[in-house]
């Protein structure tokens, strides 16, 4: 391919057995500094609630120290789940970030609430606006105000708004509103080519986005051998199994715990469904698969989510990925 593909990070700040949430958050800051040196463009953090295994409950709060610890990396949310919040509060939070770090802040938005109904009920906008209304209100706050109310501070360069989704419907929604779009292949594998094609066909230019910009978020674990990469990737999936079947408040198991576990046939099927559509293995294994995926989906940007219990292996995986994408 002749088109240059940007590469960025999607992070959930996973909490592993023996760690505290603060350890996970500090590792996110360290990872951001490392990937900036590897040539990554953005560092986005997700929004999760009432999930002890994932420490990213507040993207705006975590984005602050990441911005302070890096030089030129764009930092933001992937995504703020807008139905959980008032547009006014989100505009104020990201207005603070964009005022402190001009032209370095992204505001990725999601249309879902995520998490449990109980947590969503405690977070939601009490007016229960629909997403169209919330998006219009949010844009209004970054354009000077809305119904006589101004979100202060008002940054000279507002954060870049994106939409993150996992369906053709979300892709078309982003296109019709003139937003850059990220398809979450990390959540729903297999639909990226169709979603990105639909996005490009439906795109309507907006004031801040004249051309379509389509990205894909994938899970990738690249290690020195296929076997080590598989062991690392399996720890997070085993953690999902534990949270679904044993203890919803569990943190994530260590590599040693995962290696000692004997997966049932049902668990093995779940494991394969989560790992096989993604990019796990040695550089020699991952490179051709990722190249084929990029050639089919034709993203302008690739977001990479790597959730493994060994932090040094995580950093090396992102380094391997940068080299692979540079060669595509």
Q: What is the pLDDT of residue 120?
A: 78
pLDDT at 201: 98
Determine the Cα angle at 144 with ends 138 and 149, to 5°.
75
Q: What is the mean pLDDT of residues 111-115?
A: 83
Q: What pLDDT score was predicted for residue 145?
A: 76
When pLDDT is averaged across residues 311-325 and rounded to a whole number, the result is: 98
Higher pLDDT residue, 230 or 147? 230
State the DSSP H helix or E strand holding residue 70, giving kind and residue range, or none if neither: none
On the question of pLDDT at 84 being above 80, the answer is yes
Where does the pLDDT of residue 310 fall: very low under 50, low under 70, confident under 90, or very high at 90 and above?
A: very high
Give CA separation, 79 vs 17, 154, 181, 268, 292, in Å. Answer: 26, 21, 11, 30, 27
Average pLDDT over residues 131-140: 94
Residue-wise pLDDT for 285-305, tens only, equals: 999 999 999 999 999 999 999
103: helix, strand or coil: coil
The pLDDT tens digits of the residues spanning 38-80 come to 999 999 999 999 999 999 999 999 999 999 999 999 999 999 9
**Assign residue 178 a region: left if phi > 0, alpha if psi is -120 to 50, beta otherwise?**
left
Q: Where residue 128 falls among pLDDT bands split at 50, 70, 90?
A: low
Shortest CA distance to 198 belongs to which of 171, 221, 161, 179? Answer: 171
Q: How much is the pLDDT for 3?
A: 60
Nearest CA among 233, 224, 217 for reference residue 316: 224
* DSSP code at position 186: T
Query: Residue 139, CB half-sphere, CA atoms under 13 Å: how many?
Result: 15
User: Quick one: pLDDT at residue 1?
Assistant: 45
pLDDT of residue 121: 79
Q: CA-to-CA distance for 325 and 302, rounded, in angstroms?
A: 9
Mean pLDDT to the nearest integer, 201-209:
96
d(CA 255, CA 258): 5
pLDDT tens-digit map of 265-280: 999 999 999 999 999 9
Residue 2 has pLDDT above 70, yes or no: no
Tokens of 148: 């006589």
Among 150, 208, 142, 155, smallest CA distance to 177 is for 208
What number is the average pLDDT over the span 139-161?
92
CB neighbour list of residue 109: distance below 8 Å, 6 or more residues apart = 77, 79, 80, 81, 82, 135, 138, 161, 162, 163, 164
For the chain, give the percent of residues with pLDDT over 90.
90
């Amino acid at each position: 391919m002749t088109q240059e593909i940007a590469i960025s990070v999607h992070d959930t700040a996973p909490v592993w057995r023996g760690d505290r949430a603060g350890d996970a958050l500090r590792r996110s800051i360290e990872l951001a500094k490392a990937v900036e040196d590897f040539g990554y463009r953005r560092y986005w953090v997700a929004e999760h609630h009432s999930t002890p295994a994932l420490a990213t409950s507040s993207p705006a709060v975590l984005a602050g120290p990441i911005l302070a610890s890096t030089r030129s990396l764009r930092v933001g949310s992937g995504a703020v789940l807008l139905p959980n919040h008032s547009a006014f509060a989100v505009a104020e939070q990201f207005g603070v970030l964009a005022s402190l770090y001009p032209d370095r802040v992204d505001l990725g938005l999601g249309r879902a609430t995520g998490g449990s109904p109980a947590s969503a009920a405690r977070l939601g906008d009490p007016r229960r606006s629909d997403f169209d209304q919330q998006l219009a209100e949010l844009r209004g706050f970054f354009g000077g105000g809305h119904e006589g109310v101004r979100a202060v501070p008002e940054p000279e360069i507002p954060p870049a708004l994106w939409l993150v989704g996992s369906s053709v419907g979300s892709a078309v929604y982003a296109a019709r509103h003139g937003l850059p779009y990220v398809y979450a292949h990390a959540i729903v594998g297999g639909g990226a080519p169709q979603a990105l094609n639909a996005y490009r066909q439906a795109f309507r230019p907006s004031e801040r986005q004249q051309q379509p910009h389509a990205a894909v978020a994938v899970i990738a674990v690249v290690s020195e051998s296929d076997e080590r990469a598989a062991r690392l990737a399996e720890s997070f999936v085993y953690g999902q199994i534990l949270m679904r079947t044993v203890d919803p408040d569990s943190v994530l198991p260590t590599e040693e715990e995962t290696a000692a576990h004997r997966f049932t046939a049902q668990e093995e099927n779940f494991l394969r469904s989560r790992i096989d559509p993604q990019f796990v293995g040695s550089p020699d294994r991952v490179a051709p698969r990722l190249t084929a995926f990029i050639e089919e989906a034709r993203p302008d940007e690739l977001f990479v989510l790597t959730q493994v219990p060994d932090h040094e292996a995580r950093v090396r995986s992102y380094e391997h990925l940068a080299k692979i994408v540079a060669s595509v």
